[in-house]
Amino acid sequence: MEFEEFARAETPRLLGLAYALTGNPHDAWDLTQEAMVRVGLRWRRLAAQNPGGYARTVVVRLNIDRARRRRREVLTDRSPDRAVPVDVIDELPAWLVEALAELTPQQRAAVVLRALEDLDHATIAARLGCSTGTARSHLSRGLARLRERAPEEV
């Protein structure tokens, strides 16, 4: 399979994951593009392995990194209306985006990976780059906090 063929097939799935992680289409596109570019740069080696898994891991880790940086930085040069090559087909409900935004990036990633991809603790740990115990803790606390913050919906 050529990289562009892979990108065409995998981008929709990656966008879905990135949208759930970030809650907005602009950041979702940024994450998806960066992850696909990293796969593209390593295509010769990844093609025979699991490029989709690699791309999804990159999306998850980049999002955590992005969230950490944002906590420390005041972003003033970012236009929420800038054009990105994605259309919103089905919007995430506002209450859900707000509830997810209350979680730490790791908790949010753990919850999303469990809900969207039905991953077990060990695989979530691999995606997050942490131990299984820590992943279990992120998932458990993330779910608990979701219930606390949005009791009427969750």
Q: Could you say whether residue 70 binds another protein (CB under 8 A)?
A: no
R_g (Cα) of the chain, nearest Å: 16
Q: Could you say whether residue 82 binds another protein (CB under 8 A)?
A: no
Q: How far is CA 120 from CA 58, 66, 97, 112, 146, in A?
A: 18, 24, 23, 12, 19
- Note whether 27 and 84 are within 8 A (CB): no
**Which residues, 6+ apart, have CB-to-CB distance to 27 below 8 Å?**
18, 63, 66
Q: Could you say whether residue 64 binds another protein (CB under 8 A)?
A: yes
Q: Angle CA(140)–CA(150)–CA(70) in degrees, nearest 5?
A: 75
Per-residue binding string, another protein, 16-35, x by CB under 8 A, is: x--xx----x--xx---x--
Using CA of residue 40, residue 27, residue 87, residue 110, what is the dihedral sign? positive
Q: Could you say whether residue 1 binds another protein (CB under 8 A)?
A: no
Q: Could you say whether residue 98 binds another protein (CB under 8 A)?
A: no
Looking at beta carbons only, is 42 or 52 nearer to another protein? 42
Q: Could you say whether residue 116 binds another protein (CB under 8 A)?
A: yes
Q: Which residues bind another protein (CB under 8 A)?
A: 3-4, 7-8, 11-12, 15-16, 19-20, 25, 28-29, 33, 36-37, 40-42, 45, 61, 64-65, 68, 71, 85-93, 96, 102, 104-106, 112, 114-116, 120, 126, 128-130, 134, 137-141, 143-144, 146, 153-154
